[in-house]
Amino acid sequence: MNVKVLATLLFLVSANDRLEDEACEVTEPQVPASSSALLQVQASRRDSNSNEALLQGEKASMCSYQLSGDQDGSQPCASLLGKKYVSGRVASLSEVGYEQTAKLCCHHEMSLFARREIERQGFDVCDLSDLHGFVHWYDCDNDIKTYAEMKKEIAGVMASTCPWLGRLPDCPKKDPVHCGRVAECPAKLPAGSLNASTAPHSQAGYAGVALRCCHRDMEEFIRREIDQQGFHVCDEASFKGFLHWFDCTDDDQTYKQLTDGLVIARSGLPPMCPWLGGVGQACPPKGHNCPVVEVAEPTAHRRRTACR
């Protein structure tokens, strides 16, 4: 598994764990339910030379919430208060504009810039947590990224396994195997499966627990493995994201990949972020690209079967 892909997906799963499941509500009763949308970003630009220009959201039918102006789950960076700078909401959609925004090292500003590029390419944001996961790889000049790379990645999202852009009111379906799926425990345990509390720390033990395709059981097995390794969990959200990739046989993982992943989670080897600490030791510090959004996303949840 590509570690950079895993790092990004860990963020997506951990972000989803923080969101509340809500029923779809249509804010305009006269609009058919088929016009409902997960969220809508329709920006209008004002004076391109003013940092006070805002992206204006338009009222529409929606499921739970929509993006409006600067409201995208992040907040302005305190480090920029009182300073003159070119905001991501008005910076030119060019290499120069990207560099001006990236040097601010402010997630909020790069989110504004990226949303404008997304709109320029004719897309709408269907998944807020995925937007922030994307922005984290571009929001500072030490990410060593370019505007060309951003444009290319946005253009290719629709063809990816877990697309998070669309054209409202239609949002693409994600691969149910590797996009936010949690393995539900079967009513009847398959023959040859092993109890997570007693399964040996070996390939046979891991395979026996994975055979159950039960998220809860694999969590118990991996926590036992973490204890055996002399580690402790520093970030429960990251642990849940990691667990998602090992809880069933269709993940095609091995016990060695599991233990190697725990070693990486302890060391924080690039581009991963450490989420395990040593027993009796302080949790290791996280680097710039570790997924922490300034404030939590709005209380909402995009359902696995897209609201239409």
Q: Per-residue pLDDT tens for 275-285? A: 899 999 988 88
Taking residues 182-208, report their average pLDDT.
92
- Per the domain annotation, does 101 fall within a domain? yes
- Per the domain annotation, does 273 fall within a domain? yes
Q: How confident is the model at residue 24 (pLDDT cuts 50, 70, 90)?
A: very low
In this predicted structure, the answer to whether residue 136 has a pLDDT above a threshold of 50 is yes
Query: Quick one: which of 174, 151, 148 has its CA closest to 161?
Result: 174
- Per the domain annotation, does 178 fall within a domain? no
**Under a CB-based contact definition with an 8 Å cutoff, are residues 210 and 257 in contact?**
no
Q: Which of 5-9, 67-71, 192-196, 270-274 has the highest mean predicted lDDT (pLDDT)?
A: 192-196
Residues 55 and 122 placed together within one structural domain of the fold: yes
pTM of the model: 0.51
> Which pLDDT does position 185 carry in this prediction?
87
Q: What are phi and psi of 125, to 5 degrees?
A: -80, 120
- Domain count along the chain: 2
Residues 22 and 155 placed together within one structural domain of the fold: yes
Domain endpoint, select from 166, 184, 214:
166
- Per the domain annotation, does 121 fall within a domain? yes
> Which pLDDT does position 46 carry in this prediction?
35
Domain encompassing residue 25: 3-166
For residue 176, whether the previous peptide bond is cis, meaning omega lies within 30 degrees of 0, is no
Amino acid at 120: R
Taking residues 196-210, report their average pLDDT.
97
Residues 264 and 217 placed together within one structural domain of the fold: yes
**Under a CB-based contact definition with an 8 Å cutoff, are residues 55 and 89 in contact?**
yes
- Per the domain annotation, does 183 fall within a domain? no
